[in-house]
């Protein structure tokens, strides 16, 4: 079998341009064809088969007609060539045409295990554990870093985090907390209103209980409070959390500071097993 590239010759057709260097083109053409010519006006290229008089034409940078010709007319040569490449390469899959002409590698699909592992790691380790902002996934430097980590990783957008990934994690977290609450016969709740540096207010509810002889605490709710911290707002959020985790008959202690709105909202609550 001929394995050396033949020199390409010029054509008399003024619309055709001979391609003198075939080193950057698919191996099927380098192995089985010669005299490669490109018709710019028609956006097609053609080449003469090395093993028969036929000239094969196809859309420029497309090789389907070339492959079909070799497989149909020179099957034994084609099989020999394929087997030789398979034995000499660690990856037995032939490179795709878009990998040859495109500098970007193929990206993982959304359902790819590696894609999901990296996305979950970004959410868990960077956004949750390190408290980095969601906008980090849109930063150019972060995406350049991820290209170095794995060029096939498909960058995730902040919109996907807020609309898909984080809501799913939130539902899983609530399910786990509900399972924990179902195993807790006696719980104590700590209620507190907290403001951040921008003076945005939040209402937090923390549960304290004993599970398998170990004291454990879990944050059940941390919700934004809009407007005034009225008694009705605090009572409504408290009732929502108690119903969500089915704690009506399990609360034995309710701890707040002595702010007037807390006293008005919770001072008259009667807890099971304790006097008013």
DSSP notation for 40-108: TTTTEEEEEESSSS-EEEEETT--HHHHHHHHHH-HHHHHHHHHHHHHH-SS-SPPPHHHHH-SSPPPP
Grade residue 6 by pLDDT with cuts at 50, 70 and 90.
very low
271/226: higher pLDDT = 226
Question: Strands (DSSP E) along the chain, which ranges?
Answer: 16-18, 33-39, 44-49, 55-59, 187-195, 201-211, 214-225, 251-255
Q: What percent of the chain has pLDDT over 90?
A: 27
Grade residue 269 by pLDDT with cuts at 50, 70 and 90.
low
User: Domain limits of the chain?
Assistant: 16-101, 113-174, 184-266
Q: Does residue 12 surpass a pLDDT of 60? A: no
Query: Which residue is associated with the tokens 């709105």?
Result: 261
Query: Which residue is associated with the tokens 């969500």?
Result: 244
Q: Does residue 222 surpass a pLDDT of 60? A: yes
Q: Does residue 10 surpass a pLDDT of 50? A: no
Sign of CA dihedral 80, 81, 84, 86: negative
pTM value? 0.52
Token pair of 85, please?
């490449």
Q: What percent of the chain has pLDDT over 70?
A: 77
Grade residue 7 by pLDDT with cuts at 50, 70 and 90.
very low
pLDDT at 253 (0 to 100): 85
**Segment 81-110, tens digit of pLDDT:** 888 877 665 454 454 554 444 445 588 888
pLDDT at 11 (0 to 100): 40
């Amino acid at each position: 079998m001929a394995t050396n590239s033949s020199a390409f010759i010029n054509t008399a057709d003024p619309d055709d341009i001979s391609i003198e260097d075939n080193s950057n083109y698919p191996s099927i053409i380098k192995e089985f064809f010669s005299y490669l010519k490109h018709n710019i006006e028609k956006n097609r290229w053609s080449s003469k088969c090395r093993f028969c008089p036929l000239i094969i034409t196809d859309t420029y940078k497309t090789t389907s007609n070339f492959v079909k010709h070799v497989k149909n007319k020179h099957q034994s040569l084609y099989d020999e060539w394929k087997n030789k490449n398979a034995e000499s390469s660690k990856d037995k899959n032939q490179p795709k045409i878009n990998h040859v002409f495109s500098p970007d590698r193929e990206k993982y699909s959304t359902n790819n295990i590696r894609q999901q592992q990296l996305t979950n790691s970004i959410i868990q380790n960077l956004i949750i554990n390190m408290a980095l902002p969601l906008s980090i996934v849109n930063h150019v430097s972060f995406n350049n870093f991820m290209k170095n980590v794995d060029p096939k990783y498909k960058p995730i957008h902040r919109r996907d985090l807020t609309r898909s990934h984080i809501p799913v994690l939130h539902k899983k977290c609530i399910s786990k907390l509900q399972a924990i609450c179902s195993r807790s016969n006696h719980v104590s709740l700590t209620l507190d209103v907290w403001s951040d540096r921008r003076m945005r207010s939040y209402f937090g509810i923390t549960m304290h209980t004993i599970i398998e002889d170990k004291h454990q605490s879990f944050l059940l709710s941390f919700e934004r409070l809009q407007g005034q911290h009225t008694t009705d707002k605090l009572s409504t959020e408290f009732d929502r959390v108690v119903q969500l985790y089915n704690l009506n008959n399990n609360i034995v202690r309710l701890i707040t500071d002595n702010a007037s709105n807390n006293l008005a909202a919770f001072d008259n609550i009667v807890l099971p097993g304790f006097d008013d």
